[in-house]
Amino acid sequence: MSATAAERGREARQRLLGVAAELIAERGWSAVSTRMLAERAGVAPGVVHYHFTSVPALLAEAALGVMRALIEQLGAGLEQAHTPDEALKLMVGFLKDYDGRDPTSLLFAETYLAAGRDEGLRRALGEVVAEFRRRLADRLAEHGLAAPEATAAVLAAAIDGIMLHRALGPGPDTADLTTVLDRLITPAGSGRPSARERTADTP
Amino acid sequence: MSATAAERGREARQRLLGVAAELIAERGWSAVSTRMLAERAGVAPGVVHYHFTSVPALLAEAALGVMRALIEQLGAGLEQAHTPDEALKLMVGFLKDYDGRDPTSLLFAETYLAAGRDEGLRRALGEVVAEFRRRLADRLAEHGLAAPEATAAVLAAAIDGIMLHRALGPGPDTADLTTVLDRLITPAGSGRPSARERTADTP
DNA sequence: CTAGATTCTGGTCAAACGTCCAAGACGTTT
DNA sequence: AAACGTCTTGGACGTTTGACCAGAATCTAG
């Protein structure tokens, strides 16, 4: 088996993936070109089609890689949260880092849209989102919140939507956001969370 | 002044705007080309640059036109709503029509992203969203809801985010969605029954 | 040291791109 | 009839695109 040659190849491949994620955010999914990728990655144009079957295939692999890593990180954080409030705080904290104008947020949005035009990408991305929703719903259900799946879906969607809107201009600050989103996990008519609308048994 | 010639010109211009909105949704913002637009609009390629200074300028005008019209329509509906619940029902009703895979939803998302790469478009789109948020916040404030601006921002963002996520696969149905979003306009600890159970009492 | 993989280079290819323009078409005005 | 304003035509321009490939380079294995 080769060691140095294969390693350099793997490195070039990885560099291309990283550069692809950057460029998707900067220029938009369909505006990323073979030569752009090659130049920024510091390789000859031909290398792109040596490591990947096509440019869209490279973009899809790059985007899914970043998204899976991030979702995994956030999901792992959720496992540490002991109350829905902690989970919410964690998610709002994410909103601080990813404000809709940064490369990661843009990559997410671009990938969402590209998924609508690529069946394979759509399926893969759908799985990533579904898994995160499931993990969040599990956390919420553990604490007896009503309609945990729907709540998780709305919460996750709200986070993404807020990122999108923020890119257009200033929105509510973190404190106000937390106050409002907190309503989602604090059912009406209760003085304290998980006191009245409890429908599931906590283990 | 000419009459028929100018009229035909105006018609071709309008047709190009309509076709541009379609193609942005179908192919993505940066994948719409001069010849594509001309062919579908049934005009010669040269007509595009006769009526518009550039392709991006045409795309921006087309997208803003559609979005302004839609936001205006929804805003007008809000003026008719007498309670936050009615406003919420109206917005969830919109979600039924625009589910994230339809041309209008895609146009919205594409324009959001394109705005990040075009200062002029960003400003114009920001104004459209801000005006809608303002109208929604006014409605919510009229009924004494706490933090009406932040609530309106979150509600509007949640709607957009839900549309995005829906494009990837089935999410919660309308009823569950209404239940959860209802929490946003029915603060906890208010002592009042859930908004769903109330009918038309005004404080 | 040679034979065999693997990776990289730099260029070619047809096609499509945005933009522009000279010439034609058409109805109105003089 | 002639001149005019407005819109349309179809092609030309230079550039860039995705994909591809023959050969050079580099490394491993025998």
Q: What is the pLDDT of residues A170-191, one digit of tens each?
A: 888 889 999 999 998 886 655 4
Q: Tell me which residue of A180, A188, A195, A146 sits closest to B189, measured CA to CA.
A: A188
Question: What pLDDT score was predicted for residue B109?
Answer: 86
Please check whether residue A48 lies inside any domain of the structure.
no
Whether the pLDDT of residue A199 is over 50: the answer is no
**What is the Cα–Cα distance from B118 to B198, expressed in whole angstroms?**
46
Please check whether residue A170 lies inside any domain of the structure.
yes
User: Which chain B residues 6-35 have CB under 7 A to strand D?
Assistant: 6, 8-12
Cα–Cα distances in Å, from B33 out to A6, A143, B51, B55, B196? Answer: 40, 52, 15, 7, 49
Residue B4 distance to chain A (closest CA, Å): 40
Average pLDDT over residues A134-141: 90
Residue nearest to nucleotide D28 (CA to C1'): A2
Please check whether residue A6 lies inside any domain of the structure.
no
Please check whether residue A98 lies inside any domain of the structure.
yes
Query: Any atom of strand D under 7 A from CB of A176?
Result: no
Q: Are A38 and A45 in contact (CB under 8 A)?
A: yes
Q: Tell me which residue of B113, B109, B101 sits closest to B161, measured CA to CA.
A: B109
Residue of A nearest to B163 (CA): A157
- Domains: count for chain A: 1
Query: Any atom of strand D under 7 A from CB of A10?
Result: no
Whether the pLDDT of residue A196 is over 50: the answer is no
**What is the Cα–Cα distance from A123 to A190, expressed in whole angstroms?**
39
- Contact residues, chain A, for B56 at CB < 8 Å: none
Q: Are A158 and B157 in contact (CB under 8 A)?
A: yes
Which is more confident, B3 or A74?
A74
Q: Are B110 and A140 in contact (CB under 8 A)?
A: no
Please check whether residue B152 lies inside any domain of the structure.
yes
| DSSP secondary structure letter of residue A117 | T
Interface contact B179-A30, CB threshold 8 A = no
Interface contact A28-B188, CB threshold 8 A = no
Interface contact B153-A159, CB threshold 8 A = no
Q: Tell me which residue of A47, A2, A4, A40 sits closest to A21, measured CA to CA.
A: A40
Whether the pLDDT of residue A192 is over 70: the answer is no
Q: Tell me which residue of A28, A171, A20, A16 sits closest to A109, measured CA to CA.
A: A28
| Domain span including residue B140 | 60-201
pTM for this model (two decimals): 0.84
> A117-131 in b/e burial notation, b at 16+ Cβ within 10 A?
bbeebbebbbebbbe
Question: What pLDDT score was predicted for residue B122?
Answer: 93
Who among A112, A154, A187 is closest to B162 (CB)?
A154
Residue B121 CB contacts under 8 Å (≥ 6 apart), including other chains: B60, B63, B64, B111, B114, B115
Average pLDDT over residues A51-62: 97
Residue count (chain B): 203
Please check whether residue A162 lies inside any domain of the structure.
yes
**Which of A89-98, A113-122, B13-22, B50-59 is the least confident region?**
A89-98
Give the domain CATH number at B193: 1.10.357.10
Interface contact A157-B161, CB threshold 8 A = yes
Question: What pLDDT score was predicted for residue B187?
Answer: 67
Q: Are A157 and A71 in contact (CB under 8 A)?
A: no
Query: Any atom of strand D under 7 A from CB of A46?
Result: yes
Interface contact A180-B28, CB threshold 8 A = no
Question: What pLDDT score was predicted for residue B20?
Answer: 98
Please check whether residue B74 lies inside any domain of the structure.
yes
Q: How confident is the model at residue A161 (pLDDT cuts 50, 70, 90)?
A: confident
Which is more confident, B195 or A67?
A67
Chain A contact present for B37, CB below 8 A: no
Whether the pLDDT of residue A203 is over 50: the answer is no
Average pLDDT over residues A111-135: 92
The nt closest to A5 (CA vs C1′) is D27
Cα–Cα distances in Å, from B163 out to A57, B97, B103, B141? Answer: 25, 10, 12, 26
Percent of chain A exceeding pLDDT 90 equals 49
Question: What pLDDT score was predicted for residue A198?
Answer: 36
Residue A93 sits at the vertex; the CA angle it makes with A143 and B121, to the nearest 5 degrees, is 125
Show the low-confidence residues of chain B (pLDDT under 50).
1-2, 191-203
Chain A contact present for B101, CB below 8 A: yes
Question: What pLDDT score was predicted for residue B85?
Answer: 87
**What is the Cα–Cα distance from A195 to B183, expressed in whole angstroms?**
15
Q: How confident is the model at residue A48 (pLDDT cuts 50, 70, 90)?
A: very high
**What is the Cα–Cα distance from B163 to B19, expressed in whole angstroms?**
23
Please check whether residue B179 lies inside any domain of the structure.
yes
Best residue of A30, A59, A133, A154 to probe chain B, by most B CBs closer than 10 Å: A154
Query: Any atom of strand D under 7 A from CB of B50?
Result: yes
